[in-house]
């Protein structure tokens, strides 16, 4: 039987190799002569979990400075000598003709553009593409790439920035890793907090039942505050171990706004969205995997197995749980919208895998 | 029929049915999906290639836009939900090796990304596309230029 399964598997993969997609390709544009930083960035990505367990190709495109449509902007006080750091009005920022770069990326059949621009200033930016200068450590480019994927900053904004960018309508500081929740003064336990806020916590499927989202005997919101420990760099093929449980941790990004708003994050340690020398931490690793999976980026064979989202079932948004329903237990499944099925539900590979198991073992077999 | 032959027939049929069931395979067509600073969206610059493509990214995590491809009767023939960060976050970074960020500027300058579609027989009936902002629920319908395979 083992031999038959082996033969079947070989045939299966041979056949499916015709319909396997091209790899997800990141094009890195740089005007640095030896491409040193671009190579460093590729090395970083190839060893950093979870990016290292996905089929991602990197293409480094070396360009002459005149051919890279980017510049570094710094404002200086009028009438002062340019480049004198003492006369700087604002920090530097990298600006590119993104459309031109993305068009070029499309033409080379790649998926995502990044830029490393030669300059002595320390700056980066993220949005539709990720950019840094050559003076900036490449770990900051990973921070910027996470912005591209939908992550918000975790670091504390200065008062002048916080007043502009911390809006209580959630238009800015709501992302895959951040949510604005104004806590009540007092809760009647963890269930009360879950009933009120569960649907607002976008990563709630990652929070285990045993992890509270409250402290002080369920009276205060938050699994805790983000502590001062940096999430370690993770160069293994699996999730960070010895991390805090995924929960609801009080962040600091908007602490300095004149009208402070409370932003919450899933991880308890300082992450790369706070400090670019930190790792992602288990919460962001899981979120990145969800994002890459949903983009159709293929996992390598050494990647952790896909987790079943249905393991943690949610309360239906804005509906208090009934007497016989737990807020996050098995008896209260989320409302499903047929037009927004999860990727797994429609994944033809998974469906076919199950069918093949049936073909080999008979109809009684059950996939995981 | 040997076991291997039987296996191959089964796999071929499953493979074929999977393609047919999802209608998400074909050659590749990529577009630039652009949002201008006012929030108007366009799907432009189609680029068609012979590369085989099965679209496994039709429901992106945290999607904020839904793109529907419509036929001449404005009946949907394909859709995908995608995420695109529409803000540009410019950050000043500390020259020290402490890894900290010094300043932030968040701007709504418009954004662009590459969106891929399968190019198969069904898709050749594409005449329009609809973009729905999943946060604001705003919709726009425009004509699409679909490349002939």
CA distance A236 to A280: 13
ipTM over 0.90: no
- How does pLDDT run across A270-296, given as a tens digit for each residue? 999 999 999 999 999 999 999 999 999
Least confident of A144-148, A214-218, A350-354, B63-67: A350-354
In B, which residues are within 8 Å of A24 by CB distance?
A: none
In A, which residues are within 8 Å of B32 by CB distance?
A: 99, 102-103, 106
Task: Give the distance from residue A218's alpha carbon to the nearest chain B alpha carbon, in angstroms.
Answer: 30
In A, which residues are within 8 Å of B114 by CB distance?
A: 102, 105-106, 110-112
Nearest to B91 among A125, A149, A342 (CB): A125
Q: Do A164 and B106 touch (CB under 8 A)?
A: yes
Nearest to B83 among A99, A150, A359 (CB): A150
Of the pLDDT bands very low, low, confident and very high (cuts 50, 70, 90), residue A227 is confident
- How does pLDDT run across B93-139, given as a tens digit for each residue? 999 889 999 888 999 889 999 999 999 999 999 999 999 999 999 99
CA distance A167 to A262: 10
Task: Give the distance from residue B138's alpha carbon to the nearest chain A alpha carbon, in angstroms.
Answer: 16
CB atoms within 10 A of CB A79: 6
- The 8 Å CB, 24+ separation contacts for A164-168 are A164/B106, A165/B104, A165/B106, A166/A253, A166/A254, A166/A257, A166/A259, A166/A260, A166/A261, A166/A263, A167/A261, A168/A259, A168/A261
Q: Do B89 and A125 touch (CB under 8 A)?
A: yes
- For chain A, the farthest-separated pair of C-alpha atoms sits apart, in whole angstroms, at 83
Instruction: Spell out the domain ranges in chain A.
Output: 8-361
CA distance A239 to A282: 6
**Residue A21: its pLDDT value, please?**
54
CA distance A133 to A140: 10
In B, which residues are within 8 Å of A140 by CB distance?
A: 91, 93
- How does pLDDT run across A89-140, given as a tens digit for each residue? 667 889 999 999 999 999 999 999 999 999 999 999 999 999 999 999 999 9
Q: Do A21 and B30 touch (CB under 8 A)?
A: no
Q: Do B84 and A342 touch (CB under 8 A)?
A: no
CA distance A345 to A324: 27
Q: Do B92 and A93 touch (CB under 8 A)?
A: yes
Of the pLDDT bands very low, low, confident and very high (cuts 50, 70, 90), residue A356 is low
Average pLDDT over residues A243-251: 95
Q: Count Cβ–Cβ pairs < 8 Å, chain A vs chain B.
A: 194
* C-alpha dihedral sign at B19, B20, B21, B24: positive
Q: Dihedral through CA A54, CA A57, CA A58, CA A59, nearest 10?
A: -170
């Amino acid at each position: 039987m083992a031999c038959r399964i082996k033969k079947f598997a070989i045939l299966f993969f041979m056949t499916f190799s015709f319909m396997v997609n091209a790899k997800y390709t990141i094009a890195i544009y740089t005007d640095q002569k030896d491409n040193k930083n671009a190579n460093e960035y590729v090395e970083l990505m190839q060893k950093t979990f979870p990016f290292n367990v996905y089929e991602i190709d990197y293409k480094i495109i070396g360009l002459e400075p005149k051919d890279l449509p980017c510049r570094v902007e710094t404002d200086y006080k009028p009438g002062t000598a340019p480049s004198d750091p003492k006369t700087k009005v604002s920090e530097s920022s990298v600006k590119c003709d993104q459309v031109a770069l993305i068009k070029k990326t499309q033409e080379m059949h790649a998926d995502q553009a990044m830029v490393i621009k030669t300059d002595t200033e320390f700056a980066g930016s993220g949005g539709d593409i990720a950019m840094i200068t050559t003076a900036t450590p490449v770990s900051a480019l990973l921070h910027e790439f996470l912005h591209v994927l939908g992550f918000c900053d975790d670091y504390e904004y200065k008062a002048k920035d916080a007043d502009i960018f911390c809006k209580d309508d959630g238009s800015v500081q709501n992302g895959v890793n951040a949510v604005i929740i104004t806590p009540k003064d007092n809760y009647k336990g963890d269930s009360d907090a879950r009933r009120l806020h569960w649907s607002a916590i976008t990563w709630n499927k990652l929070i285990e039942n045993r992890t509270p989202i409250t402290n002080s005997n369920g009276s205060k919101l938050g699994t805790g505050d983000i502590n001062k420990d940096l999430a370690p760099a993770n160069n293994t093929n699996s999730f960070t171990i010895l991390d805090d449980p995924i929960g609801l941790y009080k962040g600091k990004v908007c602490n300095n706004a004149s009208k402070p708003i409370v932003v919450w994050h899933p991880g308890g340690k300082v992450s790369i969205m706070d400090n670019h020398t930190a790792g992602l931490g288990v919460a962001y690793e899981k979120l990145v995997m969800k994002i890459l999976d949903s983009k159709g980026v293929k996992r390598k064979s050494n990647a952790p197995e896909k987790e079943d989202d249905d393991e943690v079932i949610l309360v239906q948004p804005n509906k208090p749980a009934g007497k016989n329903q737990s807020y996050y237990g098995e008896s209260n499944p989320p409302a499903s919208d047929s037009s927004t099925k999860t990727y797994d539900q429609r994944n033809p590979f998974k469906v076919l895998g199950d069918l093949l198991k049936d073909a080999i073992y008979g109809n009684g077999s059950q996939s995981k | 029929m040997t076991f291997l032959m039987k296996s191959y027939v089964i796999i071929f049929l499953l493979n074929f049915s999977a393609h047919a069931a999802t209608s998400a395979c074909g050659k590749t067509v990529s577009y630039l999906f652009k949002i201008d600073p006012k929030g108007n969206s366009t799907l432009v610059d189609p680029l068609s290639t012979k590369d085989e493509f099965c679209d496994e990214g039709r429901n992106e995590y945290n999607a904020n836009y839904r793109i529907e491809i419509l036929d001449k009767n404005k009946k949907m023939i394909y859709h995908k939900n995608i995420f695109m960060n529409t803000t540009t976050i410019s950050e000043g970074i500390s020259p020290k090796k402490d890894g900290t960020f010094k300043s932030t500027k968040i701007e709504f300058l418009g954004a662009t990304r590459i969106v891929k579609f399968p190019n198969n027989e069904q898709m050749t009936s594409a005449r329009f596309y609809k973009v729905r902002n999943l946060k604001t629920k705003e919709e726009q319908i425009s004509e699409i230029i679909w490349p002939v395979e």
